[in-house]
Structure 1
Amino acid sequence: MEVSVFTLIRVIGSLAVAAMASYAVRLYATTWLKCERLRKKLRRQGIRGPAPSFLYGNLPEMQRIQMKAKAAIDGAALPHGEFIAHDYTSSVFPYFEQWRKEYGLMYTYSNGLRQHLYINQAELVKEMNQCVTLLGKPSYVSKRLKPMLGNGIIRSNGHCWTQQRKIIAPEFFMDKVKGMVGLMVESVQTLLGTWDGRIEAEGGKTADITVDEDLRSLSADVISRACFGSSYVKGKEVFSKLRSLQNIMSKQSFLFGNSLFGFLPSKDGKEVRNLEKEIELLIWKAIQERRRECAERTSGKDLMQLILEGAINDHNLDKESSKQFIVDNCKNIYFAGHETTAVAASWCLMLLALHPKWQSQIREEVAQVCDGNTVNADALLQSKAVTMVIQETLRLYPPAAFVSREALEDTKIGNVNVPKNVCIWTLIPTLHRDPEIWGADANEFKPQRFADGISKACNYPQAYLPFGLGPRLCLGKNFAMVQLKIVLSLIVSRYNFSLSPKYQHSPTYQMIVAPKHGVRITIQKI
């Protein structure tokens, strides 16, 4: 009797394993056939691409190309000083560059579960960005970004996105941003005081500084105080945990991996879930505190207060949905509002350190448009040199590397019929370096190309996408540009600086394009 029970258990176990295997085979076969049907529709239009393998698509080839590029980098000395080349696409995104050279500016590839269409033709990118109802954020990418962004404005689609934009966008109009200049200046002055202290600690002449974390702290302070009425001290834990979450999530190939490659190890997955809960609890606590502070206020409402009111007054949201709406959008603003701006500022300082003549131009202009140490919004809007430097930095080192969309329905972009469920990707750094758009000097740092504005800087202005394009243009564009102008103007007015001999130039992709080893400069007080 005992033997028969064990035999029965083994039989049941075998049947369960067989059933699971059969289900997995059917699932992947169905997925493979679905991708193959989409590939055929694209091939009929003359769109080619690398041949995919069964189940895994082009992932194995992407991994081989990436490993080969990494080996080449590891075997060479990291560039520094005048040897720095600004075209990093062949090292950071080598598979896209290899396929672009082989198949042109439009090709198709697969990650095993999804069929992708790569587009880097400026005219088609413009059309793609104008189409909001038929194209949305790719569902599989959004799912993997959920711990970081929830269902906030960055990853939402349709009515949900429209609803959130209506509430949030007005708070980033230029008239509102001008009112935040005083807070931005105060935060930068605190940073400058810290750097002065480091110069004194190193002998009073110069100091060697890695700027990245200082700029993150500065940017976090600005977004907290300007938009949420609280100091960086209160929000420090939120930003620290968001940074930890970003580092863990960057380990997974969340952009291109399929389910077999995309899962985080159990330890990391557990840590992500814990951090997600902790961040949401901290934000909700801050929201409740802010609600009590603002209970009697009828004017001068900040962004958090407006998000609160918008969610509470929306009859389509119940109590729990309203809470999640508020928390998710605070996460979006916390992350996008400080991380991308801080990274952009780091790249700006790196390029200015390489090109001291532009430091001099900014310094002279700031002295002309500002009265002593006084900085005002109107003067900053007139500061041409610093604007050109920022625009050129965002051309060469845009923090957001991609524009990505998924066809929610069969969609026509130009002469291309994009079938439903196809994901479309555009690599922004490639567009920003196209010689046919920017000229033969496209890989060089030349801010003067923006002397007469973006419309005259290149042959196709719609190919300039540091903040996106069309209806989904980044809501924080004005906020980021004004903050960058203040940060650079005040730093350049206070210091001469050059790249530290210890600086190692190594752009890397960690949800945004950032300096892997940080930006290290040597500063000297003027």
Structure 2
Amino acid sequence: MKIQFDLQLFTSIVFIGFVALLFRLYTSLVHNPNVLRAKLRKQGINGPPPTILFGNLMEIMKSQPSIPNSPCSEPPLTHNIASLLFPKFEEWREQYGKLYMFSFGSIQTLCVSQTDIVKEITTCTSFDLGKNSFTKRLLESYFGDGIITSNGTTWAHHRKILAPELYINKVKGMVNIVGESCESLLNLWSSKIEAQDEVADINIDEDIKRFSGNVISRACFGSDYSKGEKLFLNFEALQEVAGSWKNLLLAFPGMRYLPTKSNRKTWMLKKEVKSLILEMVKERKEKTSFQNDLLQMVIEDAKKSNLTQKASDRFIIDSFKNIYFAGFETTAVTATWCLMLLASNQNWQDRARAEVLEICRGSTPDFDMLSKMKLLTMVIQESLRLYPPTPLLSRKTFKDMKFGNIDVPKDTDLWIFIITMHTNPNIWGDDAYKFNPERFANGTVGACKQPQVYMPFGVGPRVCLGQNLAMLELKMLIALILSNFSFSLSPRYIHSPAYGITMKPNNGVQLLVRKL
């Protein structure tokens, strides 16, 4: 009888536990999403019907276009990148309007392109609005819990340490470092031209990355690019794994812990990155002389915070990862796109070159000279409009919030497609998809009807900390290239914008480069 009673008790406990699990799954996968969607629907916001487990994820993944693999017969004349990279979202926007909802599994997302609401979201300073958990899970291996993905007091602490080191007064002191890094690239291209008999067919991506990597290494970490080359290569590999739309399933709870092929590769790369960063930190701590750079500031802050060794290491590693992205990745991809646009718009290349030659008169530009280059600034601004480094901005509400006339429930993800805002003909005019730097002749305020939608480096409290350094690098590099070379698109060039963590040319950019 006792055995039978125990068996009945065990069976009852298992049954109750199973029912509780089913109830919890039903609540998280069906009830809560339905309640949230109902709140949005009452306000006139609609969207595509989701499936229970995956929401609209499968539709999104199936809609992703294949990347071109054949050379362009002619330079790209228009740049409707939103339709190219995000066709399903553009389709939904046309169907449901400027405010619509969709689902990533049980995560309910409100997609916003209504300009007044976009402005309120991007300038909101409340800790009740932060980075969403979906993006954090997807990019955890790449950013950790650094300034780009963290929230609340953690984010505020990272910003307090990193922001002062990238203010304009500090960036001015990096002009010589940027100029010297440019010289290495100029010498490399000159040697390639000599080797290929006056015209070199160059895939510029790796050379631009080496330049940008050298700048961030020397300016912030006191080492040259060659020492950190392995580290940067691992970051590149991590971006390919972590930032691909093919791997969106990894953002679902628990998926990143499964021993899949991509997860195993991610774990290996994370381990190598951690080891390399800690090795650099160890070398720095063993030095007797004090170096006033960003790495030293991060180490000193970790020491002052009385963190455990494990927490200290993580803080330093995550800071390093985020600095890499802010000061290296965004600059490299923007410079690459800018040179592609100048190569396919010879008139603007000639105009920008004439301005550079008139201001510099054969010398390497200093900060004041760069500040006077109005046409070059316009070219860079237009490049950032058409090809913003991060074309998508995402947030999450941690409590019920109100933006404009919309009540946004707690735990709603908010998405803003920057690339859509940057190329909306209703805002920018009929030539919105064309390269026309002239629109920035009177600055960003005069460029379009609603200048608050121009946000290539983000906007508000979470604006990219590295934008001052990025603009210095871009101006210096492109000015020196223009004053030393002329260039056009190579017949081998394949126009293939692709979105991972940043928007970059999947097949690279090939230029025919001639010495002036």
Bin of the TM-score, shorter chain as denominator length = over 0.9
Once the two structures are superposed, what CA deviation does each residue of 1:8-50 show, in whole Å capped at 9, x if it has no partner?
A: xxxx9xx999988994785255322111110000001111111
User: What's the C-alpha RMSD, in Å, of the aligned pairs?
Assistant: 2.4
Q: Distance in 2 between matches of 1:311 and 1:365?
A: 46
User: Given residue 267 of structure 1, which amino acid in structure 2 is its aligned partner?
Assistant: K
Residues 457 and 463 in structure 2, CA contact (< 8 A), matched pair in contact too? yes
Residue 379 (structure 1) aligned with residue 369 (structure 2): yes
Residues 242 and 335 in structure 1, CA contact (< 8 A), matched pair in contact too? no
- Residue ranges of structure 1 left out of the alignment (5+ in a row): 1-11
Choose which of 182, 187, 201 in structure 2 pairs with 1:188. 182
How has the CA–CA distance of structure 1 residues 486 and 18 changed in structure 2, closer, same or farther, with 3 Å as cutoff?
farther
Task: Please state how far the C-alpha of 1:257 moved relative to its aligned partner.
Answer: 6.8
SS in 1 for 2:377: helix
Once the two structures are superposed, what CA deviation does each residue of 1:293-329 show, in whole Å capped at 9, x if it has no partner?
A: 3x433xx6111111111221125x3332222111110
SS in 1 for 2:102: strand
Match of 2:497 in 1: 507
User: Given residue 55 of structure 1, which amino acid in structure 2 is its aligned partner?
Assistant: L
Match of 2:53 in 1: 55
User: Given residue 312 of structure 1, which amino acid in structure 2 is its aligned partner?
Assistant: K
Residue 336 (structure 1) aligned with residue 326 (structure 2): yes
User: Given residue 441 of structure 2, which amino acid in structure 1 is its aligned partner?
Assistant: A
Mean Cα displacement is larger for which, 264-273 or 181-190? 264-273
Choose which of 297, 301, 306 in structure 1 pairs with 2:297. 306
User: Given residue 228 of structure 1, which amino acid in structure 2 is its aligned partner?
Assistant: F
Residues 78 and 506 in structure 1, CA contact (< 8 A), matched pair in contact too? no
Choose which of 161, 169, 188 in structure 2 pairs with 1:167. 161
- Residue ranges of structure 2 left out of the alignment (5+ in a row): 1-9
SS in 2 for 1:417: strand
Task: Please state how far the C-alpha of 1:258 moved relative to its aligned partner.
Answer: 5.9
Once the two structures are superposed, what CA deviation does each residue of 1:423-472 show, in whole Å capped at 9, x if it has no partner?
A: 00000110001112111111110001111111111111110010001011
How has the CA–CA distance of structure 1 residues 21 and 351 changed in structure 2, closer, same or farther, with 3 Å as cutoff?
farther
Residues 78 and 435 in structure 2, CA contact (< 8 A), matched pair in contact too? no
How has the CA–CA distance of structure 1 residues 523 and 37 changed in structure 2, closer, same or farther, with 3 Å as cutoff?
same
Choose which of 100, 103, 110 in structure 2 pairs with 1:110. 103
User: Given residue 240 of structure 2, which amino acid in structure 1 is its aligned partner?
Assistant: N
Q: Distance in 1 between matches of 2:249 and 2:99?
A: 17
SS in 1 for 2:445: helix
Mean Cα displacement is larger for which, 124-133 or 211-220? 124-133
Match of 2:128 in 1: 134
Percent pairwise identity? 44
Residues 242 and 279 in structure 1, CA contact (< 8 A), matched pair in contact too? yes
Task: Please state how far the C-alpha of 1:83 moved relative to its aligned partner.
Answer: 4.4
Q: Distance in 2 between matches of 1:25 and 1:241?
A: 43
Mean Cα displacement is larger for which, 265-274 or 512-521? 265-274
Q: Distance in 1 between matches of 2:206 and 2:75?
A: 25
Match of 1:8 in 2: none
Q: Distance in 1 between matches of 2:443 and 2:245?
A: 39
User: Given residue 345 of structure 1, which amino acid in structure 2 is its aligned partner?
Assistant: A
Once the two structures are superposed, what CA deviation does each residue of 1:372-423 show, in whole Å capped at 9, x if it has no partner?
A: 2222011101111111111000000001011100001111111111111000
Q: Distance in 2 between matches of 1:236 and 1:82?
A: 33
How has the CA–CA distance of structure 1 residues 289 and 434 changed in structure 2, closer, same or farther, with 3 Å as cutoff?
same
Choose which of 289, 306, 331 in structure 1 pairs with 2:283. 289
Q: Distance in 2 between matches of 1:17 and 1:497?
A: 72
Residues 145 and 318 in structure 2, CA contact (< 8 A), matched pair in contact too? yes
How has the CA–CA distance of structure 1 residues 18 and 348 changed in structure 2, closer, same or farther, with 3 Å as cutoff?
farther
Match of 1:240 in 2: 233
Question: How many residues of Structure 1 are paired with residues of Structure 2 in the alignment?
Answer: 503
Task: Please state how far the C-alpha of 1:244 moved relative to its aligned partner.
Answer: 1.0
Q: Distance in 1 between matches of 2:140 and 2:388?
A: 23
Task: Please state how far the C-alpha of 1:292 moved relative to its aligned partner.
Answer: 2.8
User: Given residue 381 of structure 1, which amino acid in structure 2 is its aligned partner?
Assistant: S
Task: Please state how far the C-alpha of 1:337 moved relative to its aligned partner.
Answer: 1.7
SS in 1 for 2:322: helix
| TM-score (structure 1 length as normaliser) | 0.91
Residue 454 (structure 1) aligned with residue 447 (structure 2): no
Residues 353 and 521 in structure 1, CA contact (< 8 A), matched pair in contact too? yes
